[in-house]
């Protein structure tokens, strides 16, 4: 009988050992509030001419401009009428993508390595940016309207992420296809959008792997 009481007591002590605010906190990850590698060109490899870009696109009011040539990132606020930078190759507003006078095609490859080995697909059709509208103000959605800005957007590059609003919460699906972008100077870059969340699974943080020049 003592054995049973001992087992019960042991069980009780194990439970009561837990803090008032819960048990097993250690089984979870606690990513740092700030990104360890920061934002921007977080990886670059001059040998393979490739790298990784990590940007914050949480704001509906900003474009984030990326220059592959200069390895620079700039932002400008649409609502405040801030000017775009002098040099940039492509830009992102939330999950919309535009080019600086360039064009893009979607490949059937599944990785940048395949692009590197296969090159630009024969017969690839490059699509230029078209005039479109991007949402810059969500705050009136409940009142039945949104704030838009009319701008050029590349319809092919913007296919990198499908946001299905037919279910709540929306379903986010990556195309997982590399894209080839022809820049206005005639050079080519390969882009692979691999994630749209940060380490804590918060949406609006985009990871882009690239090869430039291709």
Contact by Cβ (8 Å): 159, 106: yes
Which tokens is 214 given? 């291709």
Task: List Cα–Cα distances, 13 to 6, 10, 26, 167, 186, in angstroms.
Answer: 10, 5, 19, 45, 71
Cβ closest to another protein, residue 94 vs residue 98: 94
**Cβ-based nearer residue to another protein, 88 or 196:** 196
- Distance of closest approach, residue 36 Cβ to another protein, in angstroms: 12
User: Where do contacts with another protein occur on this chain (CB under 8 A)?
Assistant: 4, 7-8, 11-12, 15, 18, 20-25, 27-31, 58, 60, 138-139, 141-144, 164, 166-169, 171-174, 194-197, 199-201
Shortest CB 180 distance to another protein, Å: 23
What tokens appear for 35 in the block? 């990104």
Please identify, using beta-carbon distances, which residue of 4 and 123 lies nearer to another protein.
Answer: 4
Tell me how far, at minimum, the Cβ of 141 lies from another protein, in Å: 5
Sign of CA dihedral 183, 187, 188, 191: negative
Beta bridge partners of 92: 64, 97
- Comparing CB distances to another protein, the nearer of 18 and 118 is 18
48 or 172: CB nearest another protein:
172
Q: Work out how close the CB of 3 gets to another protein at its nearest, in angstroms, rounded to a whole number.
A: 10
* Smallest separation, CB 80 to another protein (Å): 17
């Amino acid at each position: 009988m003592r054995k049973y009481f001992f087992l019960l007591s042991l069980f009780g002590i194990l439970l009561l050992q837990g803090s008032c605010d819960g048990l097993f906190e250690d089984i979870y990850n606690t990513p740092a509030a700030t990104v360890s590698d920061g934002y921007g060109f977080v990886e670059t490899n001059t040998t393979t001419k490739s790298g990784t870009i990590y940007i914050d696109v949480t704001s509906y009011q900003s474009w984030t401009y990326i220059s592959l040539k200069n390895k620079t990132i700039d932002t400008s606020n649409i609502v405040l009428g801030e000017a775009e930078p002098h040099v940039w190759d492509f830009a992102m507003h939330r999950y919309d993508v535009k080019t600086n006078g360039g064009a893009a095609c979607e490949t059937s490859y599944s990785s940048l390595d395949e692009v590197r080995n296969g090159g630009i697909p024969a017969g690839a059709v490059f699509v230029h940016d078209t005039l479109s509208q991007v949402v810059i103000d969500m705050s009136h959605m409940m009142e039945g309207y949104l704030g838009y800005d009319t701008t050029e957007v590349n319809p092919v590059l913007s296919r990198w992420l499908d946001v299905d609003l037919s279910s709540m919460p929306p379903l986010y699906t990556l195309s997982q296809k590399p894209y080839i972008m022809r820049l206005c100077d005639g050079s080519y870059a390969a882009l692979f959008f691999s994630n749209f969340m940060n380490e804590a699974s918060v949406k609006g943080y985009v990871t882009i792997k690239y090869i430039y020049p291709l």
